Structure 1
Amino acid sequence: MVDFSNAYTYAVGALLCWGVWGIAAKYSVERLDNMSVLLVTYVVGIGLVLALDPTSPLDVTFDSGLAFSALAGLSMSLGSVMFYRALDLGQLSGVTAIPALYFVVAFVYGVVVLGEPTNPSQIGGIGLACVAVLLLVQ
């Protein structure tokens, strides 16, 4: 039975969805221009978000939560633009591996800025992940 109260269940779900996203995106940029693919991707995404909970009121207040949400949307969108362009120019197997290391940025931020604890196995895992991507893009 799948435990839907566990963060890792959702993390694995995201991994699978993003894997499919990379594959579908590669086929998309081979058939449409990058900006059209991006536009369709976000329109469908917004539609899905609204369909998941159509009765949920938007609770947007003008505070730091809104600013961070806007920053998240900006960085996600710019990252997507760059990702689609990279897919258009490169191979699926190598191009998708590089941005998949985004967790390294979040890990370093968590440790350095937020003061989250770390241990040698986590540091080793980050190093091995980076080595793995370097090997994949060769």
Structure 2
Amino acid sequence: MSWLVWALLSAVFAAATAILAKIGVANIDSNLATAVRTTVIFVFAWGIALSLGKHGELRHINTRSWIFLALSGLATGLSWLCYFRALQLGQASRVAPIDKLSVALVIVFAWMFLGEALTPLKVLGGLLITAGAVILAFA
């Protein structure tokens, strides 16, 4: 499958995540909810890696990759903690669009840190995403 199919599937599952998390976080601490979710993801991800026999490749991961994957994990954890707290306090239909401002931020960060091209169309797209997120969240 192409990157586009995987990205669309990711969007569908992310939408399901918001709805399921909003229901699941009701009446419990958002940090505990995040811990439960993370445990499920941990078991699920390792189950896939083990079933595909990829765990043997751990020894081939270099130090740089370990550092950046660990930092990415920390950023993910912080994002999830904030997201679950926001879902607990706000409406899913308002929280999710603000969370998706990450798309516009990725465009800027990819330009700043990865040297990706910042074309006029990307700038326009990022601005439209930002405007759409703000409109959805505050309408």
TM-score (norm 1): 0.89
Partner of 2:7: 11
* Larger helix percent: 2
RMSD: 1.5
Residue aligning to 2:131: 131
**Which of these residues, 54, 57, 61, is aligned with residue 56 of structure 1?**
54
Structure 1 gap segments, 5+ residues each: none
Per the TM alignment, residue 36 of structure 1 is displaced from its structure 2 partner at its CA by: 2.2
Whole-Å Cα distance in 1 between the matches of residues 68 and 96 of structure 2?
Answer: 26
Shift of 1:19: 0.6
Per-residue deviation at 1:112?
A: 2.4
* Further displaced range: 95-104 or 72-81: 95-104
After TM superposition, which residue ranges in structure 1, 4 or more long, deviate above 2 angstroms? 112-115
Looking at structure 2, the residues matched to 27 and 21 of structure 1 have their Cα atoms a distance apart, in angstroms, of: 10
Deviation at 1:82, TM superposition (A): 0.6
> What percent of counterpart residues are identical?
24
Report the count of equivalent residues.
134
Query: Equivalent of 1:23, from 19, 22, 27?
Result: 19
Which is worse superposed, 33-42 or 83-92? 33-42
Specify every segment of 5 or more residues in structure 2 that has no aligned partner in the other structure, as ranges: none
Which deviations, in whole Å up to 9, do the C-alpha atoms of 1:93-122 show, x marking residues without a partner? 111111112122221122123221232222
Match of 2:94 in 1: 94
Deviations 1:111-134 (A, max 9, x none): 123221232222111111100011
**Alpha-carbon offset, residue 57 of structure 1:** 1.8
